[in-house]
Amino acid sequence: MVGVVGFYLYANDATALWQSVLSVMVQPMLENSPPDAPIDEIKQSIQVFSQFMTGAIAAGTVYGLLFGLFLARWWQSVLFNPGGFREEYLSLRVHPQVAIASLLIVAIAWFSSGIVSEVCWNISILLVVLYTFVGTAIVHSAFLETKIKRFAVPFLYVTLVLVPHAIALVVLVGVLDAWLDLRSKILNKKNM
């Protein structure tokens, strides 16, 4: 989040910067496009995407760093603490104060305008990363309690990769868990 805010402080006009970068990237495609290609729609898409590129680049970086960290932690647990990574990953949780701050940032993005709204939307993209991991851990825990866990858990991860819209539901689960503690309710039902 500090990186996103810092980039906006560093760049005089972050949107214009990303717009120029994206225009250069799609220029070869536009030059070789057929005469009936919707060039105006492509240029409009560039304008829209340029407003969210800072958050998207930051989110991609965070995803990559977290996957690397998780892989390293898994390897370490295989060597010195078998099953330790699974236990830690499945217990990921967000405190209610963080969830309130997250919802506040989204509200500011929604109801404000200009640079404040743009910065908050880009930070919201980073928050999606956080709640994706938390929500995935919760859904993974829930699927482990089913009789078909051998198929359900891999299906979860394949679905998240192939159907990106499913991430929205996982993010919602991650946000709601801050108050509802869904994982403990799932485990309590199992133990009854």
Confidence of residue 191 (pLDDT cuts 50, 70, 90): low
Q: Express each pLDDT in 104-156 by its tens digit.
A: 999 999 999 999 999 999 999 999 999 999 999 999 999 988 889 999 999 99
Confidence of residue 184 (pLDDT cuts 50, 70, 90): confident
pLDDT value at position 190?
Answer: 59
**Is residue 174 included in any domain, yes or no?**
yes
**Is residue 63 included in any domain, yes or no?**
no
**Is residue 26 included in any domain, yes or no?**
no
Spatial contact of 58 and 4, defined as CB atoms under 8 Å apart: yes
**Is residue 43 included in any domain, yes or no?**
no
pLDDT value at position 68?
Answer: 96
Collapsing DSSP to helix, strand or coil, 67 comes out as helix
Please state the pTM of the whole predicted model: 0.85
**Is residue 164 included in any domain, yes or no?**
yes
**Is residue 23 included in any domain, yes or no?**
no
Q: Into how many domains does the chain fold?
A: 1
The parent domain of residue 171 ranges over 82-191
**Is residue 10 included in any domain, yes or no?**
no
Q: Express each pLDDT in 54-76 by its tens digit.
A: 999 999 999 999 999 999 999 99
List, as one string, the DSSP characters of 98-124: HHHHHHHHHHHHHH--HHHHHHHHHHH
CB atoms within 10 A of CB 103: 14
**Is residue 59 included in any domain, yes or no?**
no
Structure tokens at 118: 């743009």
The beta strands (E) that lie in the chain are given as none
Q: Express each pLDDT in 157-183 by its tens digit.
A: 999 999 989 999 999 999 999 999 888
pLDDT value at position 119?
Answer: 95
